[in-house]
Amino acid sequence: MTGEAGYHTPAMPRQALELLGAASGGDFLDATVGGGGHSRALMELAPHDTKLFGLDRDGEALAEAARKLSVFGKRVRLERGNFRGAAGIFRDIEFDGVLLDLGVSSHQFDTPQRGFSCDRDGPLDMRMDSREKTTAAHLLEASDEDELARIFRRWGESKYNRRIARKIVEQRREKPLQSTAELADLIRKAVPRQSERKNVVQVFQAIRIAVNDELAALQEGLEQLFGILKSDGRLVVISYHSLEDRIVKRCFVELASGCVCPKGLPLCACGRKPRAEILTRKPLRPDTAEVESNPRSRSALLRAVRKLAGGDSAGEQA
């Protein structure tokens, strides 16, 4: 399901903007600006002196965001880059709110030439940033059986990871895999009939995560993005599967935890203070109406934190 101009329909915009505090205005960073759907909704809601900074690693996304946000003129600044390096990209700027809407946009997914979808035949690419060297084809060609099985197990949670990896290695001795249809076909042949669809989806997800180094980028990105918030600023993250959500949850729990001294010490010796307040005790989910009108939002999980005064460091360590 795609939205206006067919690019991407943003997930959970109402909840995201509310938790960002968009209505109060300020300086905001949309660190996965994509087609600019969330950003535009934010700018329409926020007071007229609000500034929006948008970041994405995908050049096509930025072109669409520039088009969609052009009405806001100089109040919008767009940059191409990876959010894992956000602090270096937005030097000297501190934000009132940062949004991270993870994963792939509908446009990326629905464009066969990008190679993300197992339902559309295209080259084995899957790069979010076309300037990167490693494509899915390179990964499938260069990794040994153990490495492939590990990728499919860890990032796709595929039960048949070893069988699929072995089949890929056998196949590429004859001819390297070149298209998404060839890969999907090969996976189907490696697993029992009733598990075909599930494993195709799992392995495509795993390869995409590996090609874009998505989970390491998320881990590093969360720390960087929290670091460039003002005190009282909000970090809102929408993730789409349990591997992402686990990283976000752990990071937020860590930011919100204070003293780590062993129980029973009469006085705190670690000096550690909570850096953040968790605003969503459990992840928020889209409501039924949203899932009906935008089925791709169904797996969305939204978590948010607020930076506390002094939240730039955890305090003195013992």
Using rule CB under 6 A, residue 58 touches ligand SAM: yes
Report how far residue 31's alpha carbon sits from residue 217's, in angstroms, rounded to the nearest whole number.
12
Using rule CB under 6 A, residue 8 touches ligand SAM: yes
| Nearest CA-CA partner of 276 in 240, 218, 318, 237 | 237
**Binds ligand SAM (CB under 6 A): choice among 105, 117, 171, 202:** 105
Size of the site for ligand SAM (CB under 6 A): 21
Using rule CB under 6 A, residue 300 touches ligand SAM: no
Write phi, then psi, for 268 (nearest 5 degrees): -70, 130
Contacts of ligand SAM in 186-245 (CB under 6 A): 217
Report how far residue 64's alpha carbon sits from residue 56's, in angstroms, rounded to the nearest whole number.
11
- CA distances (Å), origin 39, targets 75, 86, 247, 302: 12, 17, 24, 16
- The window from 27-35, 174-182, 201-209, 269-277 that contacts ligand SAM (CB under 6 A) reads 27-35
Which residue carries 């789409």 as its tokens? 240
Using rule CB under 6 A, residue 127 touches ligand SAM: no
**Binds ligand SAM (CB under 6 A): choice among 26, 54, 103, 233:** 103
Using rule CB under 6 A, residue 249 touches ligand SAM: no
Using rule CB under 6 A, residue 32 touches ligand SAM: yes
Using rule CB under 6 A, residue 54 touches ligand SAM: no
Residue 51 pairs with which residues in a beta bridge?
27
**Binds ligand SAM (CB under 6 A): choice among 128, 225, 235, 243:** 128
Q: Please give the residue whose beta carbon sits closest to ligand SAM in the complex.
A: 34
- The window from 52-60, 110-118, 190-198, 264-272 that contacts ligand SAM (CB under 6 A) reads 52-60
**E-state strands within the chain:** 27-30, 51-56, 76-80, 95-101, 229-239, 276-278, 301-307
CB neighbour burial string for 256-293, b if at least 16 within 10 angstroms, e if fewer: beeeeeeeeeeeeebebbbbbbbbbeebbbbeeebbee
Helix 145-156 and helix 196-211, axial crossing angle in degrees, nearest 10: 100
**Binds ligand SAM (CB under 6 A): choice among 51, 57, 303, 306:** 57
- CA distances (Å), origin 72, targets 77, 89, 316: 10, 21, 43
Contacts of ligand SAM in 136-155 (CB under 6 A): none
Minimum distance from CB of 178 to ligand SAM (Å)? Answer: 24
Give whichever of 105 and 171 is closer to ligand SAM, judged by the CB atom: 105
Minimum distance from CB of 46 to ligand SAM (Å)? Answer: 15
- CA distances (Å), origin 56, targets 78, 102, 168: 8, 11, 32
- The window from 50-58, 198-206, 250-258, 260-268 that contacts ligand SAM (CB under 6 A) reads 50-58
What is the x/- site pattern for ligand SAM, positions 65-84, by CB under 6 A? -----------------xxx
**Residues within the interface to ligand SAM (CB under 6 A):** 8, 10, 32, 34-38, 55-58, 61, 82-84, 101, 103, 105, 128, 217
